[in-house]
């Protein structure tokens, strides 16, 4: 992205729509009604790793899902801090080996498979009106926020944090969340719904500012289902306002004001999947300590090793160098 005018717009942009009047009431009610499962299973894996213990964590949720997560913890005598990792759309959690770098630094790591995607978590049975091809964003949207697929995923995230925080070997006062794309969105959701999260890193977060996505047009597979919905199910857009009102309850920009912990966001300015301006709609609504880092040459792709090292150092407590490369635009505000 080389457009200076758009860069300036992003620095103040808060999204195309405001959140529903009952948004916080809706989510407060959802969270209060969650019952943290006591019959979870924590199965130790026989990996023979000298400095870490690996577990498979599974639990059932009140909304019909069965959630699977990997958990790796260092072999220490004291309680350990924990990083919650969330994966990208249609993917699955980290491989065991991906988690060991953080464990070597003294952190436990949890990586959850999102229900109904490529991992081991299972979605509950649900009746759905409308198309379901590439349909996780819009699934349930015709029947109100209670029926949204991602509403259930967000509650899975909340439940996971509560469950892990209660484990005997976990320091519940040192919990962090991290992810990219869908994972970046869920890392922010974890902090928005659960104040136990004390720091968050979100890389090019997904699921934000749906009306702006529609206005930009269909350029990516990730948001393709929004456009397929109208093209094949509602070509006259008769349900557009109803759909957008319902999707507002899972729009991450609307959850941003609930986050009180420090947030680091990394944004590739060439991103044509999760558009930078939609990411700034999240960032500009964050009320607490926050910092963004811009990568002008990057799109929605794997990051350079220096970026990965920067994230690792920030999460593990090392102060990182500011990466923003358009400070000149900030100075003109």
- Domains of the chain in sequence order: 4-329 (3.40.50.1820)
Query: How many CA atoms lie less than 13 Å away from 98 in the CB half-sphere?
Result: 13
Tokens of 321: 């160098």
Q: Are 115 and 123 in contact (CB under 8 A)?
A: yes
Q: Which of 254, 265, 211, 202 is closest to 26 using CA atoms?
A: 254
- Residue 130: predicted pLDDT: 67
Distance of CA 303 to the CA centre of its chain: 17
CA angle in degrees (0–180, nearest 5) for 123-128-130: 130
Strands 66-74 and 52-60 come out as antiparallel
DSSP tag of 229: I
User: Active-site residues: which are they?
Assistant: 181, 271, 300
40 is in an annotated binding site: no
Strands 170-180 and 197-203 come out as parallel
Q: Which of 266, 265, 303, 317 is closest to 107 using CA atoms?
A: 317
DSSP tag of 125: P
**What is the chain's length?**
333
CB crowding 57-91: b at 16 or more within 10 Å, else e: bbbbbebebebbbbbbbbeeeebbbbbbbbbbbeb
The answer, yes or no, to whether residue 324 has pLDDT greater than 50, is no
Q: Which of 174, 57, 200, 56 is closest to 105 using CA atoms?
A: 174
241 CB burial (10 A radius; 0-12, 13-18, 19+): exposed
pLDDT in tens, 119-161: 999 998 676 676 666 789 988 888 999 999 999 999 999 999 9
pLDDT in tens, 41-95: 999 999 999 999 999 999 999 878 999 999 999 999 999 999 999 999 999 999 9
For the chain, how far is it from start to end, CA to CA, in angstroms?
20
- Residue 63: predicted pLDDT: 79
Mean pLDDT value of segment 238-257: 97
3-state percent helix, strand, coil for the chain, nearest multiple of 5? 35, 20, 45
Q: If you average pLDDT over every residue of the chain, what do you get?
A: 91
Which pTM does this prediction carry?
0.93
Judged by average pLDDT, the poorest of 18-22, 98-102, 316-320, 323-327 is 323-327
């Amino acid at each position: 992205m080389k457009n200076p005018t758009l860069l300036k717009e992003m620095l103040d942009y808060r999204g195309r729509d405001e959140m529903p009047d009952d948004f916080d009431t809706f989510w407060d009610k959802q969270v209060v009604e969650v019952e943290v499962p006591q019959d979870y299973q924590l199965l130790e894996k026989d990996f023979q790793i000298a400095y870490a213990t690996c577990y498979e964590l599974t639990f059932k949720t009140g909304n019909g899902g069965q959630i699977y997560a990997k958990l790796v913890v260092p072999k220490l005598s004291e309680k350990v801090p924990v990083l919650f990792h969330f994966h990208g759309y249609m993917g699955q959690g980290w491989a065991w080996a991906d988690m060991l770098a953080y464990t070597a630094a003294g952190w436990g790591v949890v990586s959850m498979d999102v229900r109904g995607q490529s991992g081991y978590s299972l979605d509950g049975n649900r009746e759905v009106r409308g198309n379901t091809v590439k349909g996780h964003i819009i699934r349930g949207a015709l029947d109100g926020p209670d029926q949204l697929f991602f509403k259930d995923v967000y509650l899975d995230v909340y439940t996971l944090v509560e469950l892990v925080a209660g484990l005997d070997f976990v320091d519940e006062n040192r919990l962090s969340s991290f992810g990219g794309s869908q994972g970046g969105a869920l890392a922010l959701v974890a902090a928005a719904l659960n104040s136990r999260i004390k720091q968050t890193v979100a890389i090019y977060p997904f699921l934000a500012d749906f009306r702006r996505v529609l206005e930009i047009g269909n350029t990516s597979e990730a948001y393709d289902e929004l456009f397929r919905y109208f093209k094949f199910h509602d070509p006259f857009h008769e349900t557009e306002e109803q759909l957008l009102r319902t999707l507002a309850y899972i729009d991450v920009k609307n959850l941003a004001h609930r986050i009180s912990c420090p947030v680091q966001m990394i944004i590739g300015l060439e991103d044509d999947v999760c558009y930078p301006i939609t990411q700034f709609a999240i960032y500009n609504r964050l009320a607490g300590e926050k910092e963004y880092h811009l990568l002008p040459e990057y799109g929605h792709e794997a990051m350079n090793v220096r970026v990965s090292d920067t994230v690792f150092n920030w999460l593990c407590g090392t102060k990182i160098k500011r990466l923003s490369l358009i400070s000149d635009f900030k100075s003109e505000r």
